[in-house]
Amino acid sequence: MVMVMNLDLELVKQIEEICATRGVRLTPQRKTVFQLICASPKASSAYELLEQLKATEPQAKPPTVYRALDFLLEQGFIHRVESTNSFIQCCSCNAHKHYSHLLICDKCSNVIELQDDNLVALLASNAEKHGFTITNHVIESHGICQSCSSDNKE
């Protein structure tokens, strides 16, 4: 548990530094929403985030959360899981915008982020054969994660 807290603090420090470098403002609300996303082992919906945010900011409204999410997405700190309309922190916040392959567990909602440039290059070259230029990817796979499938065996 202590380790998780340390990790969160380190991540928050990391995004604080990135925001300072980029000259964008990490408001306390944006920071809290990011921390809430990091604290959850599964992907969080905007509704869940709003409920959690209300614990410290009772006056928080849906637009508060959506504005914070837009900012965090724009900066590449989080990813939207399109198929479940929820959010996870990026595994490499300091990287530039990238496409990730998300493995989504349908049992526990845990999301694993993979980055594979070869996969993205393959998709781009397949599309090119049809004269198609890809401007955005959603690469999501659904299934059962390792810990859920070992739970089943017991």
Q: Which residues bind Zn ion (CB under 5 A)?
A: 90, 100, 105, 107-108, 110, 145, 148
101 belongs to an annotated ligand binding site: no
User: Closer CB to Zn ion, residue 54 or residue 137?
Assistant: 137
User: Closer CB to Zn ion, residue 52 or residue 100?
Assistant: 100
* Shortest Å, Cβ 66 to Zn ion: 20
By the 10 Å C-beta count (0-12 exposed, 13-18 middle, 19+ buried), 71 is classed as: buried
User: Closer CB to Zn ion, residue 75 or residue 100?
Assistant: 100
110 has which bridge partners?
A: 42
98 belongs to an annotated ligand binding site: yes
Q: What b/e sequence results for 76-94 when a residue is b if at least 16 CB atoms lie within 10 Å of its CB, and e otherwise?
A: bbbbbbeebebbbbbeebe
145 belongs to an annotated ligand binding site: yes
* Shortest Å, Cβ 115 to Zn ion: 7
Q: Are 151 and 114 in contact (CB under 8 A)?
A: no
Phi-psi sector, 79: left (phi>0), alpha (psi -120 to 50), beta: beta
User: Closer CB to Zn ion, residue 17 or residue 128?
Assistant: 17
Q: Are 107 and 145 in contact (CB under 8 A)?
A: yes
* Shortest Å, Cβ 36 to Zn ion: 18
* Shortest Å, Cβ 135 to Zn ion: 18
108 belongs to an annotated ligand binding site: yes
